[in-house]
């Protein structure tokens, strides 16, 4: 079984909780500056794209790339609001979270619940399927029929993940079945978001600008969703990631050993954050993650992934319980 990160660093549970407490503070000024430096450039990007429609469409698509980056950043703000870590006020977190959720087509309250389950179960082989990429073990794959093996291969194909995935992601969030764990507030957030989306589309249609709206917003949303899937994938799917079963499964080990440090050049790093620090202590706002990483040796054992390394990540597809690592289909014996 995987050795606990707690044991490797000599830090007990009190220490990692202390780290979460020390850096899990909100700074209102930094939060609002972040809102301004994200939403204002996002609005400028959309405006420039709209103005560029009189030019060849490839110009609009070029402008969509940085605009999509700011939409990814908008999602990160929504993400922090879901953890109530962005601002000290729960009401303001909810308000900004709902608005940024609307901009990213994400039902805020429902996504918050789904994401909380992901944090509580990441790397747990007995609790898969909560906000993670579908991953099965070698033994489970071998037990599948040829038809189901083919289906799994298709789901893990980079084309399916990055090209089809954004469409599926946007569509799947439009509906949520009611269950014992689903509250009225979560159902309401889904339908409020749907109504807001339909209302926005209707408003542009009435104004005679529906085509222009689609030509501007759809490529930005699509690029941002694809980038989001890419980021989430490479920050959890790497050769030495962490999966285990109870009772050996450990939250801290899953957070640090099961999350990579995706090291990107600026300004891309500003748009992504540090996933491993966040997974261990989700109440740390994104604007303090780098500080927490730099000042605590606990985080320095994390697997560092660069853009060059991400190609290998998309070849990995199965968890080998005997070798304790992710393997590719080619490595099956």
What distance lies between CA 63 and its chain's CA centroid? 23
Q: Cα-Cα-Cα-Cα dihedral of 263, 268, 271, 277, to 10°?
A: 10
pLDDT for res 196: 95
Q: Which residue has the tokens 């009772």?
A: 247
Q: Which two tokens stand for residue 272?
A: 């992504």
> Residue 103: which domain range?
5-331
Q: Which residue has the tokens 């997974």?
A: 279
CA dist., res. 107 & res. 189, Å (int)? 5
Structural domain count of the chain: 1
pLDDT for res 254: 87
Among residues 232, 279, 246, which one has the least CA distance to residue 135? 232
Full pLDDT tens readout for the chain, 333 residues: 333 344 344 344 447 778 888 888 999 999 999 999 999 999 999 999 999 999 999 999 999 999 999 999 999 999 999 999 999 999 999 999 999 999 999 999 999 988 888 888 888 999 887 777 889 999 999 999 999 999 999 999 999 999 998 998 888 888 776 666 567 888 888 999 999 999 999 999 999 999 999 999 999 999 999 999 998 888 888 888 999 998 889 888 888 888 888 888 777 777 776 788 888 888 999 999 989 888 888 888 888 888 888 888 889 999 999 999 999 999 987
CA dist., res. 94 & res. 87, Å (int)? 10
Question: Are the CB atoms for 126 and 208 separated by under 8 Å?
Answer: no
CA dist., res. 82 & res. 100, Å (int)? 11
Report pTM.
0.88
Q: Which two tokens stand for residue 204?
A: 């542009």
CB-based burial label for 11 (10 Å; 0-12, 13-18, 19+): middle
């Amino acid at each position: 079984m995987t050795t606990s990160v707690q044991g490797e660093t000599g830090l007990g549970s009190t220490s990692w909780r202390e780290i979460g407490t020390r850096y899990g503070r909100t700074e209102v000024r930094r939060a609002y500056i972040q809102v301004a430096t994200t939403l204002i450039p996002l609005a400028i990007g959309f405006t420039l794209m709209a103005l560029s429609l009189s030019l060849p469409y490839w110009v609009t698509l070029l402008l969509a790339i940085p605009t999509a980056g700011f939409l990814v950043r908008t999602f990160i703000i929504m993400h922090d609001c879901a953890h109530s870590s962005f601002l000290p006020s729960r009401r303001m977190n909810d308000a900004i979270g709902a608005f940024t959720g609307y901009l990213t087509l994400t039902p805020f309250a429902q996504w918050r619940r789904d994401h909380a389950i992901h944090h509580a179960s990441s790397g747990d082989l007995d609790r898969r399927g909560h906000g993670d990429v579908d991953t099965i073990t070698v033994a489970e794959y071998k037990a599948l029929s040829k038809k189901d093996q083919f289906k799994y291969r298709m789901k893990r194909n980079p084309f399916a993940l990055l090209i089809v995935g954004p469409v599926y992601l946007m569509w799947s969030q439009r509906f949520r079945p009611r269950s014992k764990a689903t509250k009225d507030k979560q159902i309401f957030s889904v339908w409020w978001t749907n109504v807001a989306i339909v209302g926005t589309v209707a408003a542009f249609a009435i104004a005679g600008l529906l085509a222009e709206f689609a030509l501007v917003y759809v490529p930005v949303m699509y690029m941002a969703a694809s980038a989001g899937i890419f980021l989430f994938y490479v920050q959890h799917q790497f050769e030495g990631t962490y999966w285990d079963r109870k009772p050996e499964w450990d939250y801290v080990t899953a957070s640090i050993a099961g999350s990579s440090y995706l090291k990107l050049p600026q300004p891309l790093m500003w748009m992504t954050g540090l996933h491993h620090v966040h997974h261990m202590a989700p109440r740390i706002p994104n604007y303090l993650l780098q500080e927490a990483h730099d000042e605590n040796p606990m985080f320095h054992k994390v697997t560092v992934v660069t853009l060059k390394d991400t190609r290998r990540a998309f070849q990995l597809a199965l968890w080998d319980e005997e070798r304790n690592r992710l393997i590719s289909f080619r490595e099956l014996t």
